[in-house]
A and B are shown apart, each in its own frame.
Chain A
């Protein structure tokens, strides 16, 4: 009933519904504009980045001068980004899922505690990424890191400096709301009847959650994790202060090492290159690698989420 055909027929029947015609066009144009922006960005990056991508580029560990297009590579950056994201996932998924379980299964709906938790989650989602970086410096590096050095009796600074672990933990706090919201959505999509059936058979509440609710919610939890990963993979500002290195000859082997990072490498290539025209192809290629990484993840998450939403709509 909402096809434009009916609208146009109706204003042929009446006089001429200028408003309808004009404003539908205007809002449609706004939509097209946004799609256009997206298409231009993606097309540009794809067109300029694809020719510079080769297996050698992806699998090479670059020497000190990584601005040289013929010999450079992005392997340490890909690995650095992957490792920090994996360490982050280990911390954020359990905390996020447990919080979501509390909020959907246990929390009394109108109690002040629930409201404060929800407000805190929303707030955490809106904190600027650079503030997370400052927090990482003030809390993880200066407070916990230096405290650990003192407690473990290290002579030199081991933990009281930017490190892989601190960057991952900072990112974990940043992506906590993403995991909580996605998990909550999937928990809400599970029909009440399943829980009631389980409880009626004599299972306790915790058993119901662990054996009936959580297995059903698994796709949603995965979506949350994937969204968190794709958000964290592209984020540069927090790790800028808490762990990224401009150049490292070796791959990171310990959690106290610094690391190289794809997003930061894009920043370095596009702002500090001695010859911007010469490095242009490898900059585009690095961006393309980063985009493929985040978009592939995003795409999977969107598909899973669309399914969860459909289920939710069908039920309610």
Chain B
């Protein structure tokens, strides 16, 4: 009941001329506090995903294969803080260890360094800390490659953490997905909300909403086992599992969300707009195209933005359908998305290691991207609703 002004219950439910309701007052405060949980969750997600990624952002991780060694005998010559960093321990871990344990750990370190195959000793890449920003975003001339290239190859002696192939892979599949999904979804939304008979609408709308009930793992499975071969036969490209197949499968996941939001926006255009246009002799189509669609355009745009957010966050479809480690803009080659990388590699990483933190960094990037798209869509929708209500 939002229309009443001040609530009639005073502090602790004690209000002049009324019976006191302290329990009720407490319950209402409790309701308010619980309702803040959504805000709390968004904050917690941000804090705890970013927390695990921070050491990379601040350049505290070192993923170089060949590292300078401190001989165990020299343990007293260095400040303890340096030893702690050298061993990669957290402060409480380090504090709990006695001298002998630290010595043993340092010996293990020296041995591990001695076991590195000799040809890496002369390789400049083996000394590079690949978690530095320039290795993450700029192409690098890796030993054994013809030219500077973008490569994500975290497993192996030299960890190649270039995030560009993942970003390009994500954008590639997303764009293909949107290219298919948006015309279909918006077209269907126009038809259902403006042109279809009410009885047809009542049947078709829930049916399309049923599409959103198909779990993405099922869409991925369908693309992998049925669609991939079929599409290859039709288009005759080389790689069977490529970004194109993933993009089309992705569009199945995007269509329901774009459709239902666009349909909502089109339906919320006031009926007197339509009635005025029809009364002036416009056909149903002209009304839809020239009156309703322009009025609902911000809503349709917000639907596309949300569809984009959904597409870049979709995991299982891309994980199942396609993969690649090198960057390529070609639509018919493989693609590796941010989401699929996290899902595929998280199970095998050492907790707290640089690979683990890289994956959290990717997650934080993804969260930032979807947060932005959500906010943009939210603002557009808010303005759109206000304009329809006549408040500028």
Interface 9-residue window, one of B75-83, B98-106, B139-147, B203-211: B203-211
Q: Which B residue's beta carbon lies closest to that of A280?
A: B225
Q: Do B215 and A294 touch (CB < 8 A)?
A: yes
Q: Do B213 and A295 touch (CB < 8 A)?
A: yes
Q: Do B213 and A138 touch (CB < 8 A)?
A: no
Q: Do B48 and A176 touch (CB < 8 A)?
A: no
Given known A-B contacts A119-B375, A134-B342, A263 and B217 have beta carbons under 8 A apart: yes
Q: Do A35 and B207 touch (CB < 8 A)?
A: yes
Give the contacts of A115-160 with B (CB-CB under 8 A): 116-117, 119-135, 137-139, 142-143
Interface 9-residue window, one of A3-11, A51-59, A69-77, A217-225: A3-11
Q: Do A135 and B215 touch (CB < 8 A)?
A: no
Q: Do A31 and B187 touch (CB < 8 A)?
A: yes
Q: Do A11 and B283 touch (CB < 8 A)?
A: yes
Question: Would you mind naming 15 contact pairs between A and B with Cβ atoms under 8 Å apart?
Answer: A1-B278, A10-B283, A30-B183, A31-B204, A38-B214, A121-B38, A127-B42, A128-B314, A133-B343, A138-B360, A235-B216, A236-B315, A240-B343, A270-B225, A290-B217
Among B36, B278, B363, which residue has the most Cβ atoms of chain A within 10 A?
A: B363
Q: Which A residue's beta carbon lies closest to that of B209?
A: A302
* Interface residue? B67 (CB, 8 A): no
* Interface residue? A260 (CB, 8 A): no
Q: Do A95 and B37 touch (CB < 8 A)?
A: yes
B residues touching A (Cβ–Cβ < 8 Å)? 1-3, 7, 9, 21, 24, 27-28, 31-32, 34-39, 41-42, 44-45, 48-49, 51-52, 183-188, 190-192, 195-198, 202, 204, 206-211, 213-222, 224-226, 252, 255, 259, 278, 283-286, 289, 306, 309-310, 312-316, 319-320, 339, 342-343, 346-347, 351, 359-360, 363, 366-367, 370-371, 373-375, 377-378
Q: Of A1, A109, A131, which is within 8 A of B367 by CB?
A: A131
Seed contacts A31-B204, A131-B49, A295-B213; 17 additional CB < 8 Å A-B pairs: A2-B197, A33-B188, A44-B226, A99-B37, A121-B38, A125-B374, A126-B377, A130-B363, A131-B313, A134-B360, A192-B1, A234-B218, A237-B339, A267-B319, A276-B225, A287-B218, A291-B218
Give the contacts of A13-42 with B (CB-CB under 8 A): 17, 19-20, 23-24, 26-31, 33-35, 37-38, 41
Residues of A within 8 A of B3 (CB): 109
Residues of B within 8 A of A109 (CB): 2-3
Residues of B within 8 A of A41 (CB): 214, 218-219, 222, 252
Q: Of A35, A99, A237, which is within 8 A of B35 by CB?
A: A99
Q: Do B313 and A128 touch (CB < 8 A)?
A: yes
Q: How far is the CA of A176 from the CA of B35 in the complex (A)?
A: 11
Closest CB in chain A relative to B89 CB, distance in Å: 16
Given known A-B contacts A3-B197, A128-B312, A120 and B185 have beta carbons under 8 A apart: no
Q: Of A99, A204, A267, which is within 8 A of B316 by CB?
A: A267
Q: Do A27 and B188 touch (CB < 8 A)?
A: yes
Q: How far is the CA of A139 from the CA of B192 in the complex (A)?
A: 43
Q: Do B191 and A27 touch (CB < 8 A)?
A: yes
Residues of A within 8 A of B197 (CB): 2-4
Closest CB in chain B relative to A309 CB, distance in Å: 10
Q: Which B residue's beta carbon lies closest to that of A37?
A: B252
Given known A-B contacts A3-B197, A20-B283, A233-B215, A123 and B42 have beta carbons under 8 A apart: yes
Which 8 pairs across A and B sit closest by C-beta, in order of nearness? A234-B215, A128-B313, A30-B187, A102-B35, A27-B191, A138-B48, A298-B213, A237-B315
Q: Do B306 and A98 touch (CB < 8 A)?
A: no
* Interface residue? A253 (CB, 8 A): no
Q: How far is the CA of A23 from the CA of B289 in the complex (A)?
A: 9
Q: Of B2, B315, B370, which is within 8 A of A127 by CB?
A: B370
Q: Do B339 and A204 touch (CB < 8 A)?
A: no
Give the contacts of A141-200 with B (CB-CB under 8 A): 142-143, 173, 176-177, 180, 192, 195
Q: Which A residue's beta carbon lies closest to that of B251?
A: A37
Q: Do B39 and A120 touch (CB < 8 A)?
A: yes
Q: Of A20, A240, A283, which is within 8 A of B284 by CB?
A: A20
Closest CB in chain A relative to B268 CB, distance in Å: 13
Residues of A within 8 A of B226 (CB): 44
Judged by DSSP, the binding face of A is helix
Given known A-B contacts A138-B52, A271-B224, A23 and B285 have beta carbons under 8 A apart: yes
Residues of A within 8 A of B278 (CB): 1
Given known A-B contacts A123-B371, A131-B367, A266-B217, A26 and B283 have beta carbons under 8 A apart: no
Closest CB in chain B relative to A171 CB, distance in Å: 13
Closest CB in chain B relative to A178 CB, distance in Å: 11
Closest CB in chain A relative to B201 CB, distance in Å: 10
Q: Of B27, B41, B378, which is within 8 A of A176 by CB?
A: B41
Q: Do B31 and A106 touch (CB < 8 A)?
A: yes
Given known A-B contacts A41-B222, A130-B363, A173-B41, A235 and B215 have beta carbons under 8 A apart: yes
* Interface residue? A87 (CB, 8 A): no
Q: Which B residue's beta carbon lies closest to that of A3?
A: B197
Q: Do A131 and B363 touch (CB < 8 A)?
A: yes
* Interface residue? A103 (CB, 8 A): yes
Q: Do B366 and A101 touch (CB < 8 A)?
A: no
* Interface residue? A107 (CB, 8 A): yes
Q: Which B residue's beta carbon lies closest to that of A128?
A: B313
Q: Do B285 and A20 touch (CB < 8 A)?
A: yes
Given known A-B contacts A20-B284, A138-B49, A280-B225, A28 and B191 have beta carbons under 8 A apart: yes
Q: Do A263 and B215 touch (CB < 8 A)?
A: yes
